Amino acid sequence: MIFTPNDLREFLAVCKADIAEINMVKPVIDDSQMAKEVSQMHVADNLLLVGVLPDYASDSDGDDALMMGNTLDFLILKKVEYSNLSSDDFIDVMHETAMVSRKFIERLIQEKNNPNTCPKFYFLNESSIQMQPVWAKAGTNGYMISFNLRTDL
């Protein structure tokens, strides 16, 4: 079955519990909702894990069952005060969020290999995992982690 919005909510809660650096989690549908959520945050609330509601696309290859590609995006972000942010501070923020992003990816692989919390991660396509830097997105910096699951409908 597809990775549902409820699955997203549950996985965000697991990540918050398992990754000590994450202090806040938010599911969102787009950049405008994320900007609204971040605007209500304080710098002391860092770090933030954002889970974007998944996109789905048919991924059938002639099998009897309809298979779906589930595209998932998660962002590990730190809200910053840009007026006080030096270039060294920027690199420190990017390093901090990269290390937490690494922990997040390790958690994904752990869930794929031993699917306790979210069995759908068994269908994780490890070669689809991407980690891209995010700069000045609604007053935050960090990384976006994207990947695909291939599930039945």
* Rounded Cα–Cα distance for residues 151 and 15 (Å): 22
What is the crossing angle of helices 87-113 and 5-18, to 10°?
A: 110
The pLDDT of residue 59 is: 86
The pLDDT of residue 63 is: 61
Check pLDDT > 70 for residue 103: yes
CA distances 152 to 47, 59, 69, 118, Å, are 34, 9, 9, 15
Tokens coding 48: 């933030």
pLDDT digits over 3-15, tens only? 999 999 999 999 9
Domain ranges of the chain: 5-152
Share of the chain above pLDDT 70, in %: 99
Tokens coding 128: 């689809």
Q: Which of 31, 61, 16 is nearest to 138 (CA)?
A: 31
pLDDT digits over 107-122, tens only? 999 999 998 788 899 9
CATH architecture of the domain covering 5-152: 2-Layer Sandwich (3.30)
Q: pTM of the prediction?
A: 0.94
* Rounded Cα–Cα distance for residues 110 and 11 (Å): 13
Per-residue pLDDT band for 89 (boundaries 50, 70, 90) equals very high
Tokens coding 96: 């901090």
